[in-house]
Amino acid sequence: MNRYTKAIVRKPGKNFANGISISNLGKPSFELALEQHAAYCEALGKSGVDVIVLEADEHYPDGCFVEDTAIVTKEVAIITRPSDPARLGEEESILQTISKFKKVERIIAPGNLEGGDIMRVENTFYIGITKRTNIEGANQLAQFLSKYGYTATHVPIKDILHLKTGIAYLSEGNFIAVDTVAGIAQGKNVIKIEAGEEYSANCLKVNDNLLIPKGFPNSKSQIVKLGYNIIEVEMSEFRKMDGGLTCLSLLF
């Protein structure tokens, strides 16, 4: 996998709890979210990346979930178009920041696309077709990627929010997934997640480290057996807002 040198993150805002959520896990604590976000940034730093921290934007309660705003490759950053009108505009400040480092393309209406629906496996991008990402957005992304030598595959998704809510590529042909999307791995080595630990599907490989959400011992034990150097990160407050480890950064 690519080695990353930079990560863009955004601090949660004071109105973080007003974001979009269907988790029914209760109201998150703003103070605890800040602590967990700082620990997340520390884990990124330990993984060898320079962390670019953007201040909270109180116009957008979901603004800390920067992954949804762009797809970044070595050659280009493709700015997305979130599906919910309340999130339209989050991508503008990300565009201003990432354009300092990358050539930029953009998804345009009627396309909708969110980064949580995009899973990269080497040079292939799996695009989840969900309530957040439509066919038009997926087709636009595939066309952009093809210009730079990448391939793309559409994956219809049901019962989970984003594609990466249910599956992660860990590197070296290894995946972790819930049953409903495990077939994407097509015979590769897949850690099957046990009932009650579904949230552990969202892991984040950053150079030599694998960030995993804290509190899921069965998934952790299976990952450890594969030899990964893991960093556990407490994600309770972001989980309440349907967010995971990948959601909180743009790596490049």
Please write the tens of the pLDDT for every residue from 149-207: 999 999 999 999 999 999 999 999 999 999 999 999 987 999 999 999 999 999 999 99
Domains of the chain: 6-251 (3.75.10.10)
Determine which one of 37, 41, 64, 162 is catalytic.
162
pTM of the model: 0.96
Q: Tens-of-pLDDT digits for all 252 residues of the chain?
A: 679 999 999 999 999 999 999 999 999 999 999 999 999 999 999 999 999 999 999 999 999 999 999 999 999 999 999 999 999 999 999 999 999 999 999 999 999 999 999 999 999 999 999 999 999 999 999 999 999 999 999 999 999 999 999 999 999 999 999 999 999 998 799 999 999 999 999 999 999 999 999 999 999 999 999 999 999 999 999 999 999 999 999 999
Kindly report, residue by residue over 184-195, the tens digit of the pLDDT. Answer: 998 799 999 999
Q: What is the mean pLDDT of the chain?
A: 97
- Is 154 a known active-site residue? no
| Alpha-carbon span 212 to 204, nearest angstrom | 7
Closest CA to 19 of 250, 178, 243, 249: 243
- Is 203 a known active-site residue? no
Q: Who's near 53: CB < 8 A, 6+ residues apart?
A: 9, 10, 11, 41
pLDDT at position 1, please? 65
